[in-house]
Structure 1
């Protein structure tokens, strides 16, 4: 095979591989995300969060699901994941506030309806263009 043909095959293979969809799973620190400057700007300090443990009180709504995506282009996976995580947590807090609740308990990752339960980590999936976090939790008064 001629060198130009080999080179053409190699370039084509690399181009196809570069365009292939990416779905990288990450398990990242909840506390690091919650202590970030971005968290201080967007989260409600009056709505308490309980990860992988029940919140004390009366459950008003069980298994509330949120699924947030963010633009991951030109961001590290960790930065995109943190932004999606904070958006998901904020949505749970907003739901709690709208129901007069002060807590969200039993928060677990729920990406594609698969539960990842941890008191210290959340699950995020990052691709070339989009990062996503899905959470499920109970709204508690």
Structure 2
């Protein structure tokens, strides 16, 4: 019995230490090409990663962070990450409309408040059961 508590503590600690956190970089264009994106994103709001060419910005309307999670069970890391990034874009679209914005610009990955700028991809973190993406961007009115 006196060995049970240390053994239990060791088992719990080793399970935590072995938690998976795989970084997956997903192209924004791949997310926007998903059939679900074509259904849920209505085209009234456009999305631009930091460093990506953006039409002329007429007005910036504030910044925001979307931190979404999704069930990754029985999905590939790429599939779960595309889905969770789409969830962040839907969240941004809904808020952009309330701000009368037609774009979200300067989008960066923002996992644990660490900005990662990439003009092509968004960073996602995949675990055994959950995938998550934290994204920061600025609402804007852009020219056509």
Using the size of structure 1 for normalisation, the TM-score is 0.82
Unaligned runs of 5+ residues in structure 1 are 1-12
Cα distance in structure 2, aligned partners of 1:89 and 1:109: 12
Q: What is residue 36 of structure 1 aligned with on the other side?
A: 34
Report deviation, 1:111.
0.8
Residues 79-124 of structure 1: per-residue CA shift (max 9 Å, x gap): 1000100000111111110111111110111111111111111100
Q: How does 1:56-135 map to 2 (within 5 A)?
A: 56-61=57-62, 63-135=63-135
Using the size of structure 2 for normalisation, the TM-score is 0.80
Structure of larger gyration radius: 1
Report deviation, 1:137.
0.5
Unaligned runs of 5+ residues in structure 2 are 1-10
Cα distance in structure 1, aligned partners of 2:100 and 2:20: 40
Cα distance in structure 2, aligned partners of 1:49 and 1:38: 16
Q: What is residue 43 of structure 2 aligned with on the other side?
A: 45
The ranges of structure 1 where at least 4 consecutive aligned residues each deviate by more than 4 angstroms after the TM superposition are none
Equivalent pair of 1:64/1:136 in contact (CA under 8 Å): yes
Cα distance in structure 1, aligned partners of 2:68 and 2:137: 14
Report deviation, 1:57.
1.7
Cα distance in structure 2, aligned partners of 1:100 and 1:32: 26
User: Would you say how many aligned residue pairs link Structure 1 and Structure 2?
Assistant: 126
